[in-house]
Amino acid sequence: MVHVAILGFGVVGSGVAEVLEKNTEKIAFSAAAEISLKYILDLQDFPGSPFADRVIHDFKRIEQDPEIQIVVETIGGTGVAYEFTKRCLLAGKSVVTSNKELVAIHGYELLSIAVENNLNYFFEASVGGGIPIVRPLCQCLAANEISEVYGILNGTTNYILSHMAAGVDFDSALRQAQELGYAEADPTADIAGHDACRKICILGSLSFGHHIHPDQVYTEGIDKVALQDIYYAKQAGWRIKLLGRAIRRAGDTVAVYVAPHLVSTESILANVDDVFNGIMVKGNAIGDVMFYGPGAGKLPTASAVVADIIDCAKHFHARKYIDWLEGDSRFVADPRALVTRWYVRTPPGGEKAFGQVDLLSCAETAPADTVFLTPPMSQVEIQPKLEATNAICAFRVLE
């Protein structure tokens, strides 16, 4: 019998309890042991819940109970979640989490504590919701030198951009996402790219072996994407997607950033719509691999968490190798040096400052502005031109 405790009984925490209850026999078979949910820690009581008898309010009961071998952290954030995670690991309990912010900021430290205590710290659900990506990077693709990992990592922004492609304005698309529960009342973390930033930090750390901190990642959101940009891109055979990218550079440095991109409609990634995520991995042996599926949601995320619980139960005495080295500022390269073509929208005549461009609009179709694709150039090169022409927006082209 393996006893489990859940910290936080919100959407994901309650989903984990539900999956453990619903799939008891299958989980026991997979783990080669019965998994029993003993405690649920939360500030509130849940009198109408079938798990009400397991709700407690004192963390020390979990910390000091020798029967608890695995703790599931679904509190979120880096406050009490960080403190409780450390205390659980130091108390000899393996920890499973869906908390991307905590892993992105404190992953190296928490993994180091787990190593020192011969425990596991698993976080499959922290990236891509129910999509398997952490375990494949650490196991299935372990023989590869990864050159790039990138993709659509945030379902809320992808939902908004998908609906804008159908003619819905930004504010209406955001409101729909909030009504459907895809976006928070305060959607800043999604819209400004912070959520995607945390996820690409985790993927980059796993792929390239050094901790990448969110503060090292150049991050843009989708707030500058307008309906006319969606229209012009679509007319030219492109879709606009918010991508997180981690790319190996010369000298084994890694350029990491989050920003909107034009993606060719011939790309599989361009056809990842609504709240779905798509993650691409480039390895020197496997080539290109794509991971696709629901990037969020109660049960898809809970599915990944419970899979980690099963993995923990199977590896109490043989810690699984999921690890990376301490962060180093010399390891993270400046993404502004990356050379790509750019989609640019300027006032009329602005295209003359950018050399030989491919026009996507002209005065007849867009009297208020000019839209074009530039020749390949870095962000360092293009920035003065954007400022000199009072450019309205500029997005990289993924090629």
| Residue 40 bridge partners (DSSP) | 6, 55
Long-range contact list for 167-170, CB < 8 A, 24+ apart? Answer: 167/227, 169/227, 170/222, 170/225, 170/226, 170/227
Q: Decide: 70 and 312 in contact? Cβ < 8 Å.
A: yes
Report which of 256, 248, 271, 237 is spatially closest to residue 152, judged by C-alpha positions.
271
Annotate 188-208 with b (16+ C-beta within 10 A) or e (fewer). Answer: ebbbbbbbbbbbbbbbbbbbb
In a 3-state reduction of DSSP, which class is residue 17?
A: helix
- Known catalytic residue at 60: no
In a 3-state reduction of DSSP, which class is residue 94?
A: strand
In a 3-state reduction of DSSP, which class is residue 292?
A: strand
Measured between alpha carbons, how far is 40 from 61 in angstroms, rounded to an integer? Answer: 11
Residue with tokens 């729909």: 176
DSSP characters for 229-284?
HHHHHHHTTEEEEEEEEEEE-GGG-EEEEEEEEEEETTSGGGG--TTEEEEEEEET
Can you read off the two tokens belonging to residue 165? 């492609």
Can you read off the two tokens belonging to residue 362? 């002209």
* SS (HEC) of 368-391: CCEEEECCCEEHHHHHHHHHHCCC
Phi, psi of 161 (to 5 degrees): -65, -35
Residues 6+ apart with CB under 8 A from 91: 63, 64
Measured between alpha carbons, how far is 220 from 192 in angstroms, rounded to an integer? Answer: 6
**Residue in 38, 93, 100, 199 annotated catalytic:** 199
Q: Decide: 288 and 261 in contact? Cβ < 8 Å.
A: no
Can you read off the two tokens belonging to residue 197? 């930033």
- What positions carry a catalytic annotation? 199
